[in-house]
């Protein structure tokens, strides 16, 4: 390790790694150093060989008794409250915890707010109704809220009749974000900031409806064609009531054919 020790009667100096730090104490035996301790009280037996000393030099070199041990600091005061205590019991929250853990809490938001209409369990970022958005981009406020005068109310005059299908479906099912843009006639009262997002939603809803309608029509046609085919087959089969004159109706033409063959 490389330390040297200088033995003298009164003051001893030990250099650790050739660095002079501080001088302490009285006598050294065999490289060990005890500062501020009476030898008569404690037998100086060096069993470590690597105890360090401290030296303070300057205009007025002083002997500072740092204790026999290197880096011994004052013990921190014992605090009453540590992590080892049961903090739930300490703060009187045990009852609340037992109550909350015992109660079965449903996962959905609608179970917490059952009185709210509409579908509220959808993620807020999908329809731009997230609370995070309100925090990140707070709406313009601070203006006085005043009732609307008659001139302003004229902007809310509506035309009679039901809403168009694409607008109506907005309220029925959860909306999925789509990137198509579509122009719509908006009723008075729609704010410009909502128009773009609502237009995209309307287009998505409209397309969905259109596809559904098409599928429904296709199914209908297919069923019609099947029925016609069946009728034709039944007409030509020998078991048909018009040809045989019987009262029983043969539902499965192939079965009817097999019957005639067997007969």
Residues engaged in binding other proteins (CB under 8 A) = 37, 42-43, 45, 47-48, 67-69, 72, 75, 82-88, 93, 96-97, 100-101, 105-109, 111-112, 115-118, 120-125, 130-132, 135, 145-148, 153, 156-163, 168, 171, 187
- Shortest distance, CB of residue 96 to other proteins, whole angstroms? 8
What distance in Å separates the CA atoms of residue 125 and residue 92, rounded to the nearest whole number? 38
State the Cα–Cα distance between residues 223 and 204, nearest whole angstrom: 29
Which residues have CB under 8 Å from 17's CB, separation 6+?
A: 1, 2, 3
Q: Is residue 31 within 8 Å of residue 1, measured between CB atoms?
A: no
Q: Of the two residues 161 and 192, which places its CB atom closer to other proteins in the complex?
A: 161
Q: What are the phi and psi torsion angles at 58 (to 5°)?
A: 160, -155
Question: Is-contact 36 65, C-beta < 8 A?
Answer: yes
Q: In the bound complex, what is the minimum distance in angstroms from residue 16's beta carbon to other proteins?
A: 18
Phi, psi dihedrals of residue 28, rounded to the nearest 5°? -125, 140
Least distance to other proteins from the beta carbon of 18, Å? Answer: 26
**Which CB sits closer to other proteins, 19 or 47?**
47
Nearest approach, Cβ of residue 166 and other proteins (Å): 13
Nearer to other proteins, 45 or 262 (CB): 45
Answer yes or no: are the C-beta atoms of 202 and 185 closer than 8 Å: no
Least separation in angstroms between residue 24's CB and other proteins is: 14
Q: Which is nearer to other proteins, 130 or 249 (CB)?
A: 130
């Amino acid at each position: 390790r490389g330390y040297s020790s200088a033995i003298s009667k009164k003051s001893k100096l030990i250099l650790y790694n050739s660095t002079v730090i501080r001088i302490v104490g009285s006598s050294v035996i065999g490289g060990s150093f005890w500062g501020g301790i009476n030898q008569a009280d404690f037998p100086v037996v060096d069993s470590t060989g690597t105890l360090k000393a401290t030296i303070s030099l300057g205009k007025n070199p002083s002997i500072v008794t740092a204790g026999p041990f290197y880096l011994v600091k004052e013990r921190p005061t014992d605090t009453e409250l540590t992590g080892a205590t049961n903090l739930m019991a300490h703060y009187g929250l045990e009852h609340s915890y037992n109550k909350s853990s015992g109660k079965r809490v449903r996962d959905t938001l609608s179970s917490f707010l059952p009185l709210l209409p509409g579908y509220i369990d959808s993620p807020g970022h999908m329809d731009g109704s997230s609370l995070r958005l309100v925090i990140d981009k707070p709406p313009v406020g601070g203006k006085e809220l005043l009732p609307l005068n008659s001139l302003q109310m004229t902007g809310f005059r509506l035309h009679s009749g039901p809403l168009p299908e694409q607008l109506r479906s907005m309220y029925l099912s959860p909306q999925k974000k789509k990137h198509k843009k579509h122009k719509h006639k908006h009723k008075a009262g729609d704010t410009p900031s909502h128009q773009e997002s609502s237009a995209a939603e309307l287009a998505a809803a409209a397309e969905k409806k259109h596809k559904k309608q098409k599928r429904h029509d296709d199914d209908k046609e297919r069923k019609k064609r099947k029925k016609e085919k069946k009728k034709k087959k039944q007409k030509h089969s020998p078991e048909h009531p018009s040809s045989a004159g019987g009262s029983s109706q043969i539902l499965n033409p192939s079965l009817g054919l097999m019957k005639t063959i067997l007969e």
